[in-house]
Amino acid sequence: MGPICCNSKLAPFLPGHFQFSRNSENAVSNAPFGQAGIAAIPWMFISMLGAEGLRKSAEVAILNANYLKERLQSHYKIAFSDVKPRCSHEFILEVADIKKATGVTEEDIAKRLQDYGYHAPTMSWPKLISQKRNDLQARTGGQMTLSCCFFSYVMCTA
């Protein structure tokens, strides 16, 4: 949807447009009002699911993410687990120790998950050498899908 706030050092790089008064010479985007396409995803969820379906989808996402987190914590280090034992709809796997011991990187794991038919997790967010597990399988998958996703993660580092 666009930047929310920034400091004065980043201000010259905010989206700009030649038709407006602000200088857009250094802007990283030429979309003065942000990227409208990003709003289509939540709009589709809201439109297709309705209020009750949206609530159910959120509940399933939270349950599934916590299920995967619990199953994977004996195979991966889970970031911030010492702060909160539960997660919302996503969690972060730290793979720095695996990379150091085996040479297997977060990108290797992401590519292998795609080989197994799973959407690759977001990588290097917010920590380097980590993966954020947040995808449609975690939101909508049943027990079999989640178990297969778990075994796929385990096989990535076996």
Share above pLDDT 70 across residues of the chain, in percent, rounded to a whole number? 66
Name which CATH class applies to 51-156.
alpha beta
Using CA atoms, how far residue 98 sits from 66, 80, 94, 95, 130, in Å, is 22, 18, 8, 5, 11
- The encoded tokens of residue 16 equal 């700009």
Per the confidence metrics, is the pTM higher than 0.75?
no
pLDDT in tens, 43-90: 888 899 999 998 998 888 888 888 888 888 888 888 888 787 888 888
Listed by start position, the domains of the chain span 51-156
